[in-house]
Amino acid sequence: MVIDKIENSEIYESLHLRFAKAFAFICKTDFSKLDDGKYEIENDDIFAIVQEYNTKDKKDAKLEAHRKYIDIQYIHSGVELIGIAAFKNQIPISDDTEKDLAFYEGDASFIKLEAGMFAIFFTDDLHMPGIKLTQSAKVKKVVVKVRV
């Protein structure tokens, strides 16, 4: 996993052949003018999900993982905690291969992502997004899905 500020995104473009296009979308798009929804960037190989939501309690969240796509999660506005864990021997709860979404039970460490920051979650990284700091707050996030 990678956590950094969006102005440093060029450092990470060489990690995957599709990252340059994914980061270009993040850096060149005015997300304040985009509604929630799915936005195609390069067919099914790269697409973005724009979402605005209120952060939640840790008890209401689970670790998640993806096998087909890498997540680049960019915070456009607001702040949230994201639980992180290396994929080891966590207990599987559910696995929906069609949606590329599996949930797990297990412990996580938490990082704070603020506006202008991003995190990259590879297929062996578990993450628990959307967690409140002290009280629920509105966040606008862009998740760019990059096919492995």
Q: Give the tens place of pLDDT for each residue, 33-92.
A: 999 999 999 999 999 999 999 999 999 999 999 999 999 999 999 999 999 999 998 999
What global pTM score does this model have?
0.95
What does the alpha-carbon distance between residue 101 and residue 124 come to, in Å, rounded to a whole number? 13
2-147: CATH number: 2.60.120.370
pLDDT value at residue 2? 98
- Per-domain boundaries in the chain: 2-147
Quote the distance between the C-alpha of residue 96 and its chain's center: 18
Instruction: Name the pLDDT band for 32 (thresholds 50, 70, 90).
Output: very high
Q: pLDDT for 87-140, tens place per residue?
A: 998 999 999 999 999 999 999 999 999 999 999 999 999 999 999 999 999 999
